[in-house]
């Protein structure tokens, strides 16, 4: 979900990166040669805070450290679905079990890819607190809470990739890889939302798309995931002033029709809620 943060950090301090990078796996290995250029001062302050919380030590000062940061974020999603899949009685048997297992396998594939690139330099998996300090105390005992938080993770992933597309546009290989992962995250998000809708109850009106600033149904703890999604203006045009087939577009339609990006610091702040010190 978070390779975009790597490319953003490197591109900011090495403008020639996009011209030099080539085949995907070798391209990532080539990043190690840039280690002298990427210093602690060049990394976003949020990276420092996240690593301090995850490892209780200073943030990395080279590309190897940045790649390990990405691995940590992939660990988070893979661990979440792995725990959920293995918790007896949490997920109803049948299509739901298969769906969660498939999403788990996708996230594990991302983890194994990064570990393969890093080799012996790969950082160990940190400890996660998926209750977010108690905000989701029943996350692995209540299926509806589990799905709601899964939705928040997937919606974060979609917005995170979108937020970095502009930086990646200079390199076709990197942008293609990011868009491939982005579309999978979007499929995950839509499917989890449909699973929640099928449950009925509080999620009976859940839609496959985001409406407004928070339609997760699990409270303010995940508000940062949806910050800015109540925007109704695109390219300087207020969508609600335009006329469609049935008249003026409503604010709901305006927000559903356009997804908003998330900045790298915003994504890091969200992830840090679930990483134990």
Most confident of 35-39, 112-116, 230-234: 230-234
Instruction: Single out the residue of 39, 12, 9, 49 nearest to residue 268, CA to CA.
Output: 49
Alpha-carbon distance 159 to 264, whole Å? Answer: 10
Tell me, rounded to whole angstroms, the distance of Cα 30 from its chain centroid: 25
Q: How confident is the model at residue 167 (pLDDT cuts 50, 70, 90)?
A: low
pLDDT single digits (tens) 41-55: 333 333 344 444 443
H-assigned helices in the chain: 3-13, 17-20, 24-30, 45-55, 63-86, 95-118, 143-168, 172-199, 251-256, 264-272
Alpha-carbon distance 92 to 34, whole Å? Answer: 48
Alpha-carbon distance 253 to 248, whole Å? Answer: 10
Q: What does R_g of the chain's alpha carbons equal in angstroms?
A: 19
Instruction: Single out the residue of 116, 122, 126 nearest to residue 57, CA to CA.
Output: 126
The pLDDT of 84-100, averaged and rounded, is: 96
Does the reported pTM lie above 0.75? no
Q: Do 35 and 63 contact (CB within 8 A), yes or no?
A: yes
Q: How confident is the model at residue 183 (pLDDT cuts 50, 70, 90)?
A: confident
pLDDT single digits (tens) 109-161: 878 876 876 789 888 898 899 999 998 999 999 999 999 999 998 888 888 77
Alpha-carbon distance 235 to 124, whole Å? Answer: 43
Instruction: Single out the residue of 188, 128, 184, 131 nearest to residue 154, CA to CA.
Output: 188
Least confident of 46-60, 161-175, 222-236: 46-60
The yes-or-no verdict on residue 214 having pLDDT over 80 is no
Q: How confident is the model at residue 1 (pLDDT cuts 50, 70, 90)?
A: very low
Neighbours of 25 (CB within 10 A): 10
């Amino acid at each position: 979900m978070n390779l975009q943060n790597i490319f953003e950090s490197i591109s900011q301090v090495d403008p020639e990166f996009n011209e030099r990078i080539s085949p995907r796996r070798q391209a990532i290995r080539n990043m190690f040669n840039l280690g002298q250029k990427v210093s602690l001062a060049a990394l976003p302050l949020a990276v420092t805070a996240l690593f301090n919380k995850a490892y209780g030590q200073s943030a990395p000062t080279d590309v190897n450290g940045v790649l390990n940061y990405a691995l940590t974020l992939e660990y988070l999603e893979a661990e979440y679905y792995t725990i959920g899949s293995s918790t007896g009685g949490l997920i109803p048997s049948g299509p739901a079990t298969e769906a969660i297992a498939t999403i788990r396998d996708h996230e594990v594939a991302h983890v194994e890819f990064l570990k393969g690139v890093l080799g012996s330099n790969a950082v160990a998996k940190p400890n996660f607190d998926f209750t977010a300090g108690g905000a989701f105390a029943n996350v692995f005992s209540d299926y509806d809470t589990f799905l709601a938080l899964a939705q928040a993770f997937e919606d974060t992933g979609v917005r995170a990739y979108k937020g970095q597309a502009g930086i990646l546009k200079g390199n076709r290989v990197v942008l293609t890889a990011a868009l491939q992962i982005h579309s999978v995250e979007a499929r995950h998000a839509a499917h989890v939302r449909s699973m929640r809708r099928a449950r009925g109850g509080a999620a009976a009106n859940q839609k496959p798309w985001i409406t407004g600033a928070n339609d997760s149904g699990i409270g303010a703890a995940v508000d940062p995931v949806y910050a800015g999604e109540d925007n109704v203006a695109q390219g300087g045009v207020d969508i609600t002033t335009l006329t469609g087939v049935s008249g003026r577009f409503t604010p709901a339609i305006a927000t559903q029709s356009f997804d908003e990006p998330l900045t790298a610091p915003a994504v890091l702040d969200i992830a840090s809620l679930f990483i134990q010190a």
